[in-house]
Amino acid sequence: MSRNLYYEDELIEEKFNGFMFKRLVEYAAEYKMEYIKVTALMIGASFLSLVPAAINMKIINEVLPQNGVVPDNVLGITVLLLSLWFTLSIGSVLCDFITSKASTTLGNTIVCKLREDLFRKLMELSFDYYDSRPTGKILIRITNYTDEIADFFINDMTRVVQNVFIMIITIICICLVEVRMAGMAILVSIPLGILLWVIAKALHQCMRNDRNKQSNRTAFVAEDINGLEVIKAFNREALNDEIFVELSDKFHKAFMQTTRYRELFFPLSFAGVRILCSVAMYLTALFIISNHIGAELTLGALVIITTYMQRFSNAMYVMCQRLQSFTNMTANIERIFEVLDTESDIVEKKDAKELEIPYGSVEFQDVTFSYVNGISVLEHLDLKIEPGQMIALVGPTGAGKTTIVSLISRFYDIDSGSIRIDGTDIRDVTLESLRHRIGVMMQDTFLFRGEIIENIRFARPEATDEECIEAAKKVFAHDFIMKKPEGYHTVISSQGLELSGGERQLLSFARLLLANPDIIILDEATSNVDTETEKLVQKLFTTVLKGKTCFIIAHRLSTIRNADRILYIDKKGILEEGNHEDLLEKKGYYYQLVCHQ
């Protein structure tokens, strides 16, 4: 998915090809037997559905009186043929039933696994992927698009395959009855094949456009819901409504274009099928008559040929009808495989080992980093933090403080240099073990919709209620939680709007403490709590966090004055460092900051 915004169409780099379809089908590889069974049944069902016409031919030729003469043993033959006709009809219905059941299993298996893979991939992709794409466009791929693929496999796939078989078998049967009809088969199949291909191409293009507009609209809705507070605060409802109507209108137009194509193509293709079949039959009849061999063509054979021609054209029509779902599916597959094939920027080495932190020293060696190529945020940064040290990062907005701590958890990979924890390069260890040892509380706290206690437990799912409450007590969140209508079981929304900014921070802090990491990163962790609570929380730094390597970022300098080292970050690196007293004495950047506050 190319980087874009809600009003920009996505550029699909990898176009649909047969290999993608193969990959999709392979999702249900363990159902190999099921595939064989379904294919055999589909051939069987197609075949069975055609046999009654052959029986009709037999009845006409062998049961009906010929020139007023009733054939011998007419009753026996009639009963036999009708019983066979009845059995075959039942068999055909049974085949249909079993095929449809099996295709539902296959379709669901394929889509379940596809969706699991997609979700796993989305969890694996680095922040860079999400930084530049609207969430709605990602979301719609794992929901709507996969659902539509399931629909195709469950409802359309069998019909398409079955009708292909019917077309092949009818042509073979017609040729078997009257070999001179082979020319007719070619006459019909080739132009129809070309017609189908042209329709599929045009529909696929329409579908792509349709997907784009649908994606844009979803992206806008998702963004609007996330930013509802801001929208209301700035009275943007009416303007956003206009944007939505415009996006919806574009989607509607794209959809209508697809519908118009479909409405034009289907009657056209149906008429095409019928005209070609009639022409073919007419030509064959002419050929037979002109060769004076018409007498060889029995009435029964004529009936069967006409019936099969009818079946052939019906099968063709069903194929045309299913083309829309097929092209819908191909347009969806492109987008889904594009996500699946996206390489994460953060790749674990094959021989990555577990990170064991006996001490917790962190070292930046000549680190240069940029989010966007050519615009570096950090340049040649050198920094060594001893185990158990409390480091404070201060500096102007946008200086790179959050960036520095994000790099320790390997949320982004550096351009050059290395970051080492206890001497081990973080690129040599597994991401799971690295992030397990580091507790991060980022600037924008995120809570999940659910009970308060579950939000705390998020860090360690096996933690008991008592442990969660203990963590809340440590960060002085217990009192406010108990004042909530249902205490720890009060449900909060994903944006935690039922809580104040400070309360949200305290909850996130409790969550982090419960995880008990060795290295702790607090990015503006207490910026929203009142000064009284902050003083209490600060005691934590000297008790609970003692012995752990801590990175604390704060604009409020009272939070960090007791840090072992204070780093003043600006101009792509560290401009000043020392403890509070040293830096005040220095009368440099930090001193200026303190004076301003």
Ligand X SMILES: Nc1ncnc2c1ncn2[C@@H]1O[C@H](COP(=O)(O)OP(=O)(O)OP(=O)(O)O)[C@@H](O)[C@H]1O
Where on the chain is the footprint of ligand X (CB under 6 A)?
131, 371-372, 377, 395, 397-403, 443
Using an 8 Å Cβ cutoff, are 104 and 154 in contact?
A: yes
Q: What is the C-alpha to C-alpha distance for residues 377 and 372, in angstroms, rounded to an integer?
A: 9
Residue 371 binding: pick among Mg ion, ligand X, none (C-beta 5-8 Å cut-off by kind):
ligand X
Structure tokens at 530: 């009142």
For Mg ion, the closer of residues 67 and 397 by Cβ is 397
Partner whose binding site includes residue 377, from ligand X, Mg ion, none (CB under 5 to 8 Å by kind): ligand X
Chain center to CA of 569: 39
Quote the least distance from Cβ 574 to ligand X, whole Å. 12
Contacted entry of Mg ion, ligand X, none for residue 237, CB cut-off 5 to 8 Å set by kind: none
Q: Which is nearer to Mg ion, 424 or 527 (CB)?
A: 527
Measured from the CB of residue 441, what is the shortest distance to Mg ion in angstroms? 12
Smallest distance, Mg ion to C-beta of residue 394, A: 11
> Between residues 353 and 571, which has the closer beta carbon with respect to ligand X?
571
- Cα angle for residues 256, 259, 263 (degrees, 5° grid): 135
CA angle, residues 439, 444, 450, in degrees to nearest 5:
80
Task: Report in angstroms how near the CB of residue 371 gets to ligand X at its nearest.
Answer: 3
For ligand X, give the closer residue by CB, 36 or 372.
372
- Smallest gap from Cβ 216 to ligand X, in A, equals 22
Q: How far is the CB of 412 from ligand X (least distance, A)?
A: 8
| Least separation in angstroms between CB 378 and ligand X | 9
| Alpha-carbon gap, residue 376 to 587, rounded angstroms | 28
Query: Which partner in Mg ion, ligand X, none is near 399 (CB below 5 to 8 A by kind)?
Result: ligand X
| Closer residue to ligand X, CB minimum distance, 360 or 395 | 395
Give the Cα separation of 480 and 148 in Å (integer). 46
Return the amino acid letter for 377: V
Minimum CB distance to ligand X, residue 93 (Å)? 60
372 binds, among ligand X, Mg ion, none (CB under 5 to 8 A by kind): ligand X
Number of neighbours of residue 89 by Cβ within 10 angstroms = 14
Among Mg ion, ligand X, none, what binds residue 547 when CB lies within 5 to 8 Å by partner kind? none
Q: Binding Mg ion by CB under 5 A: which of 103, 146, 402, 409?
A: 402
Q: Scanning the structure block, which residue is given the tokens 């809580």?
A: 499
H helix count then E strand count, the chain = 20, 12
The nearer residue to ligand X, 96 or 223, going by C-beta atoms, is 223
Closer residue to Mg ion, CB minimum distance, 91 or 396: 396
Q: Which is nearer to Mg ion, 6 or 412 (CB)?
A: 412
Nearer to ligand X, 488 or 590 (CB): 590
Residue 74 interacting entry, from ligand X, Mg ion, none, C-beta within 5 to 8 Å by type: none
> How crowded is residue 596: how many other Cβ atoms within 10 Å of its Cβ?
7
Amino acid, res. 267: P
Tell me which residues in 433-492 interact with Mg ion (CB under 5 A): 443
Q: Report the SS3 class of residue 178.
A: coil
Token code pair at residue 514: 């419960």
147 binds, among ligand X, Mg ion, none (CB under 5 to 8 A by kind): none
| The token pair that represents 225 in the structure block | 């819901």
SS (H, E, C) 475-514: CCCHHHHHCCCCHHHCEECCCCCCCCHHHHHHHHHHHHHH
First to last CA, the chain: 45
Strands 519-523 and 491-492: unpaired
CB of 385 to Mg ion, least distance (A): 18
193 binds, among ligand X, Mg ion, none (CB under 5 to 8 A by kind): none
Q: How many CB atoms are closer than 10 A to CB 18?
A: 7
Both tokens of 363, joined, read: 């070292």
Q: Which residues bind Mg ion (CB under 5 A)?
A: 402, 443
